[in-house]
């Protein structure tokens, strides 16, 4: 392969990550509802969600299309944070905080321990490939101190068709893969786990090359045989959509990350 060809591939690779055609996203600005956390669902479950009658949620989306801290009045776009010490947070809707106030998200809780500004790169509905893409796109834009990554091991796979997409094959309805391939490979535990840790290894390599701490967790509590009530609205603060983790599990995630940080001291 010629040097010119190698250079073209490198340019294509960099443009791929720096493209503005990233993903399907909500518009910048405040949102009262997001994804599974819908007004219709809330109306159907008001008796279980009394906490949110007095404490409504407002999701704030910056012009980079990510959720940001509601208390940041002047510095909420990424370009405003480029000279600050920040921690990057990777993951899906659990990192984004669907169904929770900002102060009840695990990135916010961890940031109270590190004292660094939160750059929340969580993308609802996404797979681990998007976490890799987001890290690659943003790690050089900030003074990054730590990268925190929580992502359950889901059968979600990356597809690029001009936009970065995540396709879940759990319901076997994806048009991007034929039925035999889905049935014989993509829904198998071995393939799902392989895809997850392949990206974890890639993310680890990026962080090592930048001399940045990387902390990774998945939903280990399912492995610990804990009895978990995801809709425990009597003794816990549930996610408002009654699908994502209640506050007790969010706090458990943040506690695990804080323990990992303290181990390095």
pLDDT of residue 229: 66
Band (pLDDT 50/70/90 cuts) for residue 166 is confident
pLDDT of residue 30: 92
pLDDT of residue 26: 77
Is residue 127 within 8 Å of 157, Cβ to Cβ? yes
Please write the tens of the pLDDT for every residue from 187-211. 899 999 999 999 999 999 999 999 9
User: At 257, which helix (H) or strand (E)?
Assistant: helix 247-263
Q: Is the per-residue pLDDT at 3 higher than 70?
A: no
Around 218, how many Cα atoms within 13 Å sit in the side-chain half-sphere? Answer: 12
- Identify the three-state secondary structure at position 87: strand
**Mean pLDDT for the chain?**
87
pLDDT of residue 197: 96
**Can you give the length of the chain in residues?**
265
- Identify the three-state secondary structure at position 175: coil
Band (pLDDT 50/70/90 cuts) for residue 230 is low
Q: Distance between CA atoms of 239 and 7, rounded to whole angstroms? A: 48
Among 15-24, 228-237, 248-257, where is mean pLDDT lowest?
Answer: 15-24
Quote the tokens at residue 108.
């916010």
- Residue 225's region, left for phi above 0, alpha for psi from -120 to 50, else beta, is left
Please write the tens of the pLDDT for every residue from 89-133. 999 999 999 999 999 999 999 999 999 999 999 999 999 999 999
Is residue 213 within 8 Å of 264, Cβ to Cβ? yes
Q: Is the per-residue pLDDT at 11 higher than 90?
A: no
Quote the tokens at residue 48.
């279980």
pLDDT of residue 109: 98
Q: Go through the domains of the chain in sequence order and give each one's CATH number.
A: 3-263 (3.40.50)
pLDDT of residue 120: 97
In terms of DSSP H, where are the helices of 103-188? 106-114, 128-138, 179-181
Percent of the chain with pLDDT over 90: 62
User: At 216, which helix (H) or strand (E)?
Assistant: strand 213-217
Around 240, how many Cα atoms within 13 Å sit in the side-chain half-sphere? Answer: 30
Q: Could you tell me the pTM of the whole model?
A: 0.91
């Amino acid at each position: 392969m010629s040097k010119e060809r190698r250079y073209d591939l490198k340019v294509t690779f960099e443009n791929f990550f720096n493209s503005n055609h990233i993903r399907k996203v909500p518009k910048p600005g405040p949102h009262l509802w997001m994804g599974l956390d819908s007004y219709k669902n809330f109306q159907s479950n008001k008796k279980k969600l009394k906490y949110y009658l007095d404490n409504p949620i407002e999701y704030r989306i910056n012009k980079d299309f990510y959720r940001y801290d509601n208390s940041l009045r002047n510095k909420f776009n990424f370009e405003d944070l480029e000279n600050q010490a920040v921690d990057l947070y990777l993951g899906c809707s659990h990192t984004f905080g669907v169904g929770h106030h900002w102060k009840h998200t695990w990135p916010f809780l961890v940031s109270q321990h590190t004292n660094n500004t939160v750059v929340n790169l969580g993308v609802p509905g996404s797979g681990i490939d998007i976490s890799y893409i987001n890290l690659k796109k943003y790690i050089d834009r900030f003074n990054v101190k730590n990268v925190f990554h929580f992502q359950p091991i889901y059968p979600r796979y990356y597809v690029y068709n001009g936009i970065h997409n995540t396709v879940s094959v759990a319901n076997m309805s994806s048009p991007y893969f034929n039925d035999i391939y889905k049935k014989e490979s993509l829904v198998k535990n071995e393939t799902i786990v392989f895809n997850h840790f392949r990206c974890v290894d890639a993310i680890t390599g990026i962080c090592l090359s930048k001399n940045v701490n990387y902390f990774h967790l998945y939903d280990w509590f399912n492995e610990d045989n804990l009895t978990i009530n995801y809709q425990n609205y009597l003794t816990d603060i549930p996610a408002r959509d009654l699908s994502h983790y209640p506050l007790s599990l969010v706090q458990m995630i943040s506690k695990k990350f804080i323990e990992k940080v303290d181990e390095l001291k």
